[in-house]
Structure 1
Amino acid sequence: MFYRPEAGHGLPHNPFNAIVAPRPIGWISTRGSDGDNLAPYSFFNAVAYTPPQVMFASTSQKPDRNGTKDSVAHIAESGVFCVNIASAALKDQMNASSAPLPAGVNEFDHVGIAAAECATIDCPRVAEAPANLECRLTKITRLAGEANWMVLGVVTGIHLRDDCVREGRFDLSRDGWLTRMGYRDYAAIHELFELERPK
């Protein structure tokens, strides 16, 4: 099978986001003049080591946000955001926070998950997340398409939950790394293997 995206694929569901999988989930928390927000984004990844940098992309819009979503609007206003890493144990709260709630509704309260303050930025974080990456905005870039935005940030502080540090390594194998597979599919990764790079 071959198809050109602009011509359509002829399948019942778009295969694109199932092809590029699994993808980590950036559970983004922000603070704006209208309050705190929490929302998951599966177009998310780390992009550099030194200094550590991350990106996520927002690919839809809300009628009360003028062409974008709450997260991007808050980041444009405040210049900061936090990436909360969602484990498989937090899948239900992560999913509930994806509801298209009106601007100004606090998802921490809506889904019943505790917030804590970040250390290096004025922003909330998910208190029970295995890891939190506090970030300062470096760039918001308009992507091709009607409401596609990419947000880039430098990581200024990192929280690791103590029980997720084992033998000197960050390890989520007990809880499971939560990943997006496409469609409505997710995966919890519990098993790892190592490969040595060729010399």
Structure 2
Amino acid sequence: MFFEPKNDDHGLPFNPFKACVVPRPIGWITSLSHDGIVNLAPFSISNQLSYDPPFVFFSGSGTSDEIDAEPRRKDSVVNAEDTGEFVYNMATYSLREQVNLSSKHVARDVDELEMCGLTPAPCNLIKCPRVAESPVSLECRHHATLSLPSNSTMGVHHVVIGEVVGIHINDDALTDGKVDWVKIQPLARMGYMDYTTVTEVFTMKGPKGEEIRPGQIGESSKSKLWDKVKDWDKYKEKT
């Protein structure tokens, strides 16, 4: 089949576009308003953008319902821009019910961490709290917001980009010094109302004869590890 998104002529019960770019990690974003109210919201359009230095993003359209008659920017977007910071928390299978509840649209003065029965934990470099129950949290400083056009009544899409300035990883999320995805089971969005998580991982080398590059293992070219490790076998021995 073939269709043009602008014509919406796919002929299927549901538009398949979101089901074609999967799985998408869920960025569970905490932010702080100028009034000190904690906002927590999940974004299924989110990911890392680069690693040296590290940047992440989350994207959301406007919001409108019985609470707000007119579309407005999401609280997470407003807070990130106003305060210059936010936290990208990892959503996991064990926290799926809290993740789902945090998607509920509520008034701005509602503390959504408290609403979801979650614990705020202090960050080291920014004022915004992180989710204590999340195994991984990234302290971020707002870098830029991109505005993308929207055909819906929900207003433009806001792509919020943040530089990661601090990283929290629970000790029990590590196995042999590496993040253990099967253990912590990150939550990811598929299409429609479907989700998935990580239950199996495999390792694959680069093409034969190719030296491993820093980015393949998430290392900076200035890394002390990279000075010592130049090929896959040595890297495997080190880890």
User: TM-score higher than 0.5 here?
Assistant: yes
Q: SS where residue 6 of structure 1 aligns?
A: coil
Shift of 1:188: 1.5
Shift of 1:143: 0.9
**Is 2:37 the counterpart of 1:28?**
no
**Pair member with larger Rg:** 2
Please give the residue correspondences for 1:1-199 in structure 2 after superposition, counting only pairs within 5 Å.
Answer: 1-8=1-8, 9-34=10-35, 35-62=37-64, 63=68, 67-145=72-150, 146-198=155-207, 199=210
User: Which amino acid counterpart does residue 23 of structure 2 have in structure 1?
Assistant: P
Letter in 2 for 1:111: C
Task: Summarize the Cα distance change of 1:157–1:171 in structure 2 as closer, same or farther, 3 Å threshold.
Answer: same
Instruction: For 2:80, give the aligned amino acid.
Output: I
**Whole-Å separation in 2 of the counterparts to 1:57 and 1:100:** 16
User: What is the deviation of 1:18?
Assistant: 0.9
What is the distance in 2 between the residues matched to 1:3 and 1:160?
43
Deviation at 1:66, TM superposition (A): 5.6
Q: Any gaps of 5 or more consecutive residues in structure 2?
A: 211-239
- Does the C-alpha gap of structure 1 residues 195 and 65 become closer, same or farther in structure 2, counting only changes over 3 Å? farther
The aligned amino acid for 1:163 is D
CA deviation map 1:102-129 (0-9, x unaligned): 1121111111111111111110110010
Point out where structure 1 has 5 or more consecutive residues left out of the alignment: none
Contact 1:88–1:178 (CA under 8 A) maintained in structure 2 = yes
* SS of residue paired to 2:22: coil
Q: Give the SS at the match of 1:7.
A: coil
1:48 aligned partner, one-letter code: S
Once the two structures are superposed, what CA deviation does each residue of 1:159-190 show, in whole Å capped at 9, x if it has no partner?
Answer: 00110011010113123121100111000111
Which has the higher relative contact order, 1 or 2, with Cα contacts under 8 A spaced 6 or more apart?
1
Aligned length: 199
Q: Give the superposition deviation at 1:64.
A: 7.5
Q: Is the 8 A contact 2:28 2:42 kept in 1?
A: yes
Letter of the 1:69 counterpart: K
Q: CA deviation at 1:81?
A: 0.4
CA distance in 1, matches of 2:120, 2:160: 22
What's the CA shift for 1:92? 0.7
Return the TM-score normalized by structure 1. 0.96
Rounded Cα–Cα distance in structure 2 between residues aligned with 1:37 and 1:64: 21
Deviations 1:2-39 (A, max 9, x none): 11111112322121111100000100000012411000
- Distance of aligned partners of 1:86 and 1:65 in 2 relative to their CA distance in 1, 3 Å threshold: farther
Q: Which has the higher strand share?
A: 1
Distance change >3 Å, CA 183–CA 81, structure 1 → 2: same
Counterpart contact for 1:64–1:103, Cα < 8 Å: no
